[in-house]
Structures are given as structure tokens and as C-alpha cells.
Amino acid sequence: MTLSPLDDYPVHQAPEVMRHVTTSDRNFYDRYYFNLHGCSDELMLIIGIGQYPNLGVMDAFAVARRGPAHKVVRASRELGDDRMDTRVGPFRVEVLEGLKRLRVVLDDNEHGLSFDLTWEGAIPATLEPPHYLRWQERVVFDSRRLAQTGRWTGSVVIDGERIEITPDRWWGSRDRSWGIRPVGEPEPPGIQVKNTGTFYWLYTPMQFEDHTILCIVQEDDKGRRLLEESVRVWSDETRENEYLGRPEYHPIYVDGTREVSTATIVFSPPGGRPFAVRATPILPVHMMVGTGYGLEPDWKHGMYQGPDLKVQGVSYDTRKEEDAARMWGMVDSVGRYEYLDGAAPTSHDTGYGLYEYWALGPHHSFKD
């Protein structure tokens, strides 16, 4: 066992040093996620920084979608003994004020993407329901996550062009999640080959001028709910969160695909009037291309990349047929959200935020 500076703080949860977690599951992770957008189809930037204590790895990525360009910078190193050290080569995250303000940096590098950004929460950080799934006897998800919408200040540089980021128009959302989920090098599938492969998912932090709706829907192939959330959180911290009941999700797909063109999400708050929000994806980012979320054999979250720091850049042009063909899987899109039929609780009836979805494998709503 090795001590770290964090061991000098009264934060221990178990008779272990702080670099070790209480489970030996190889898939334990602890991660930051951020997104930035201009409430338009101009640019979406997504950033992730994660630790994998039982794999001994820390890695980071940033992906920028601007026009047809899909540009990724990623880095990986051995975790070491100090989990307070959030640097991964040119990446770092700094907590300036817990649950409110953070700084996220990608220093200048040879791959044409860098930034220095400060996040400020627009709503209180909100704890989501636990995510727990057991497939064929194996616990594959057992995690917790906080969510928050907010605004950005700073700058982003893409291929030498500097973009000034001001909070009046550059919004976004973030989460902090930790626990167990599939990470690292592939494991022998064993009995998991019997899984249907369904991952039917919707995650929509909808940011309006004075409030946010946090919505999650996950279903199995028969449409049974595995995880759900719907809550309205006000920027005014004196107002209580409003539970919005069971969310109903009605996507419309582009013909012949599972690409969402628009969707309606219906909320039924207990004792209140049901209402609907129309969601329109306006700038898709394919999260499984280059970032570590996908099936690329040489780079996955938590995958050991050797004893030395490794920093890489990956770029694609979605106008090219071979690059466009790579764009599949989980989509994190800028979404436009509109209250329907005058249901907005204030005068702010149009908002923007993350529209994250995936419809993988069989599901009762598909005929194919």
C-alpha cells in the first residue's frame, strides 16, 4: 500500500488508503464528463477525464464536432498513487468550488485542438437514481452520477482559430459518475454471449433560461424500464425540485435508420397536468468514434497504453464516405427543446442541451 496526499484529509470510507476502492471489480471507474455548445449547430465540444483504480490507468479525451469535422485528442497514463492529480498529459481538470465551478484545460498540442474553459453551474448539482444492471449473473452497471447544467467562459482553439467562449451563449451540461461499468480491455464473453445486445437509451438534460429538466429512459428489448428519471430543477435554489412522473419517449426516425429526426417526450407530474416537450437534434457527435467509448481495438477507456504517457489525435471528415461510415453508436447531439401547447412554467419555452440516445439491438418498438 502507498499513501497519497488525499490520505491526510478526513474523507476515508473504508479501512483502505484512498488510492484503493472497496471493490476488486476491474471495471470500477471515476469520471468527469462535460459538453459545450452554442445553442446552435455551430460547435459541440465533449470532454471526458476518467480514473480506473483497479486497472491502474487514467485517461482523457476531447472531441469537437464543427461542420463536417470530427476531431479528437486523447491521452492515457498510468494512474500512480495520487488520485488528486487530474493531469493526463495536456489535459487537466481543477475543482474551483465544489459542485459549482470547475476549470477544464487542454494545453496547446500538435493535434489542432486546445482549450481553457471555466464551468459555472446554472442549477444545483443533482444526484440521479442509481444505475444497477445484472446481465447473466454478472453485475455490469452499479454506479451513481450527479448531473448539472451550466455555462462556460474561456476559449477554444481549433486548427489555429480561436473561439471566445462567453456565458451568454455557450451553455452545456456535465456529470460526475463513479462505480462499475464495462471498461478496459475486452474480457472473454462467457455466458454473456446470450445477451440480446439491446441498449435502448435516452438522456436529456434540457436547459432553459431559469430551469432544467433532467430526463433518463432506459429499456430492455421488451420495453421494460431499467432506469428512469424526470425532474425539473430550478436555478433559484430556494425552489424545490419537481418530480415529473414517468417520462414517455416517442422518437421519429429517419427512414431506414435509427437516427432520430425529432422526438416528443411526455411528462405526467403526479397531481399535475401532463405536458410534452419536442426534442430536435441539431448537431450530432458520434461518441464511439475515437473517444474510447467504442469498439476500436487500440483505444478504450481504461485500456493500458504502456508505462509512458501517450497522446494521440484522430480526425475524420464526415463528407467522406469512408469517414461517414464510421459514425455509428451512441450519439451526443446538441438538442433544441420546445414546450408544446403553452406548457412552459415561465415565459422561457425554448431551451437547449444534450440529446443523447442509442437504439441498439431488438426493441419492441421496432418491426425489424
Q: For residues 166-170, give the mean pLDDT.
A: 97
Q: In what order do the strands lie in the sheet with 225-234?
A: 242-243, 225-234, 211-219, 199-207, 350-360, 331-339, 275-286, 260-267, 248-253
Say what the pLDDT of residue 195 is: 86
Q: How many CB atoms lie within 10 A of CB 345?
A: 14
pLDDT above 90 (res 367): no
Q: C-alpha distances in angstroms, 258 versus 123, 289, 316?
A: 32, 17, 22
Structural domain boundaries, residue 348 = 27-186+196-360
Identify whether 340 is part of a domain: yes
Grade residue 163 by pLDDT with cuts at 50, 70 and 90: very high
Q: How many CB atoms lie within 10 A of CB 11?
A: 8
Say what the pLDDT of residue 109 is: 98
Q: Are 135 and 192 in contact (CB under 8 A)?
A: yes
Say what the pLDDT of residue 368 is: 59
Identify whether 169 is part of a domain: yes
pLDDT digits (tens, 9 = 90+) for 138-153: 999 999 999 999 999 9
Q: Are 217 and 202 in contact (CB under 8 A)?
A: yes
CATH number at residue 127: 2.40.370.10
Say what the pLDDT of residue 330 is: 97
What single-letter amino acid sits at 201?
W
Q: How many CB atoms lie within 10 A of CB 204?
A: 24
Say what the pLDDT of residue 295 is: 80
Q: Are 207 and 348 in contact (CB under 8 A)?
A: no
Identify whether 262 is part of a domain: yes
pLDDT above 90 (res 39): yes
Say what the pLDDT of residue 294 is: 85
Q: What are phi and psi of 83, to 5 degrees?
A: -75, -5
pLDDT digits (tens, 9 = 90+) for 92-131: 999 999 999 999 999 999 999 999 999 999 999 999 999 9
Closest CA to 352 of 336, 339, 338: 336
Identify whether 38 is part of a domain: yes
Identify whether 303 is part of a domain: yes
Q: Are 26 and 55 in contact (CB under 8 A)?
A: yes
Q: Are 6 and 95 in contact (CB under 8 A)?
A: no
Q: For residues 297-323, give the mean pLDDT.
A: 97
Please return the burial class of 22, using the count of CB atoms within 10 Å of its CB with bins 0-12, 13-18 and 19+: exposed
Identify whether 10 is part of a domain: no
Q: How many CB atoms lie within 10 A of CB 16?
A: 12
Number of domains in the chain: 1
Identify whether 8 is part of a domain: no
Percent share of the chain, pLDDT over 90? 96
Say what the pLDDT of residue 333 is: 98
Identify whether 9 is part of a domain: no
Residue listed under C-alpha cell 429517419: 254
Mean pLDDT over all residues of the chain?
96
Q: For residues 266-285, give the mean pLDDT.
A: 98
pLDDT digits (tens, 9 = 90+) for 13-23: 999 999 999 99
Q: For residues 337-341, give the mean pLDDT.
A: 98
H/E segment holding residue 324: helix 321-324
